[in-house]
Amino acid sequence: MYFKEFDIRWGDIDANSHLGNAAYVEYMSHTRMSFFSDQGLDLKLMRDLGLGPIALYEHIYYFKEIDLDQAIKVSLEIVGTTEDCRFIKMEHNFYDQQGTNLAFSEILFSWIDLKTRKLGRLSSDLRSRIQAFPKADRFRILEKSEIKKPGIKPINLH
């Protein structure tokens, strides 16, 4: 399990005097990018490959409030990938210094082609790098049916 430590900043607090929703997303994103960089897949390499990281969905479950100046740890575990590694399912947990689980999130992650702005194709080198990432004990290969949530489709206004 990968961990990134943070101290909650003034700008992260919302009108309810606790960590705001957008800050959870920022801390998870920072944790993911640190993980990728530590695995040798930094932003420069992604740009050289013409790919960018994208979240297809993030579901956050809040258990306890997080307050100003609180020290927290955000975890990252890879719990699944598709065979071709184009899609990665990750889980994040937020913990206080005593190890209390404050929040949980699941995310489906992929890659965008920076030129076409569509889902990117991965080189064999990038696939090999992703396959070498540390994985959760419960890691599994994701089926295509798990990638698209049934019944969730865009509904345009016009």
Residues 116-138 pLDDT 10s: 999 999 989 889 999 999 999 99
Nearest CA-CA partner of 122 in 81, 84, 90, 88: 84
Three-state secondary structure along 62-84? ECCCCCCCCEEEEEEEEEEECCC
Residues 2-29 pLDDT 10s: 999 999 999 999 998 898 999 999 999 9
Domains of the chain: 2-143 (3.10.129.10)
Phi, psi of 24 (to 5 degrees): -60, -45
Mean confidence (pLDDT) of the chain: 93
pTM: 0.89
